Amino acid sequence: MSARPILLVAGGAGFIGANFVRHVRANRPDWQVRVLDALTYAGDRRRLDGAGCELIVGDIAHRPTAAAALQGASWLVNVAAETHVDRSLLDVEPFLHANVLGVQRLFEAARLAGVAKAVHVSTDEVYGETRGGAFRETDALAPRNPYAASKAAGDLMLLAAWQTHQFPLCITRGVNTIGPWQHPEKAVPLFTINAIRGQPLPLYGRGAQQRDRLHVDDHASAILTVLERGEPGEVYNVAADNHCDNLTVAQRICARVGAPPSLIHFVTDRTGHDWNYALDAAKLRALGWERRYDFGAALDAAVDWYLASPDWWEPILEGEFQAYYDRQYGERLAGAEAFRA
Among 155, 165, 78, 162, residue whose Cα is nearest residue 118 = 78
Least Å distance, CB 141 to ligand NAD, is: 14
User: Residues 69 to 88: which contact ligand NAD by CB under 6 A?
Assistant: 79-83
Instruction: Give the residue with the Cβ less far from ligand NAD, 185 or 263.
Output: 185
Return d(Cα 309, Cα 180) in angstroms, integer: 9
Q: Side chain identity at 24, as an amino acid letter?
A: V
Is residue 246 at the binding interface for ligand NAD, with CB under 6 A as the rule?
no
Strand order across the 210-215 sheet: 176-178, 210-215, 243-245
User: Residues 89 to 148: which contact ligand NAD by CB under 6 A?
Assistant: 98, 102, 121, 123
Among 132, 84, 81, residue whose Cα is nearest residue 103 = 81
Return d(Cα 67, Cα 76) in angstroms, integer: 12
**CB under 6 A: which stretch of 108-116, 176-184, 226-234, 261-269 binds ligand NAD?**
176-184
Instruction: Give the residue with the Cβ less far from ligand NAD, 52 or 198.
Output: 52
Is residue 199 at the binding interface for ligand NAD, with CB under 6 A as the rule?
no
Return d(Cα 316, Cα 33) in angstroms, integer: 26
Instruction: Give the residue with the Cβ less far from ligand NAD, 157 or 333.
Output: 157
* Interface pick for ligand NAD out of 22, 23, 59, 171 (rule CB under 6 A): 59
Whole-number CA gyration radius for the chain: 19
Instruction: Give the residue with the Cβ less far from ligand NAD, 24 or 263.
Output: 24
* Interface pick for ligand NAD out of 32, 177, 192, 194 (rule CB under 6 A): 177
Contact 79, 10 (CB under 8 A): yes
Is residue 15 at the binding interface for ligand NAD, with CB under 6 A as the rule?
yes
Contact 216, 112 (CB under 8 A): no
Return d(Cα 20, Cα 142) in angstroms, integer: 28
Instruction: Give the residue with the Cβ less far from ligand NAD, 32 or 150.
Output: 150
Least Å distance, CB 1 to ligand NAD, is: 32
* Interface pick for ligand NAD out of 143, 146, 174, 230 (rule CB under 6 A): 174
Contact 216, 182 (CB under 8 A): yes
**CB under 6 A: which stretch of 36-44, 132-140, 201-209, 330-338 binds ligand NAD?**
36-44
User: Residues 261 to 290: which contact ligand NAD by CB under 6 A?
Assistant: none
187-197 vs 246-257: helix crossing angle, rounded to 10: 40
Number of residues that bind ligand NAD (CB under 6 A): 30
Is residue 32 at the binding interface for ligand NAD, with CB under 6 A as the rule?
no
* Interface pick for ligand NAD out of 7, 8, 9, 16 (rule CB under 6 A): 16
Q: How many C-beta neighbours within 10 Å does residue 218 have?
A: 22
Among 146, 152, 70, residue whose Cα is nearest residue 108 = 70
Contact 284, 236 (CB under 8 A): yes
Return d(Cα 125, Cα 81) in angstroms, integer: 14
Q: How many C-beta neighbours within 10 Å does residue 93 have?
A: 11
Contact 108, 65 (CB under 8 A): no
Which residue's C-beta sits nearest to ligand NAD? Answer: 14
Q: Hey, which residues are catalytic here?
A: 124-125, 147
Is residue 151 at the binding interface for ligand NAD, with CB under 6 A as the rule?
yes
Least Å distance, CB 198 to ligand NAD, is: 26
Instruction: Give the residue with the Cβ less far from ligand NAD, 61 or 298.
Output: 61
Binding residues vs ligand NAD (CB under 6 A): 10-11, 13-17, 37-40, 42-43, 59-61, 79-83, 98, 102, 121, 123, 151, 174, 176-177, 183
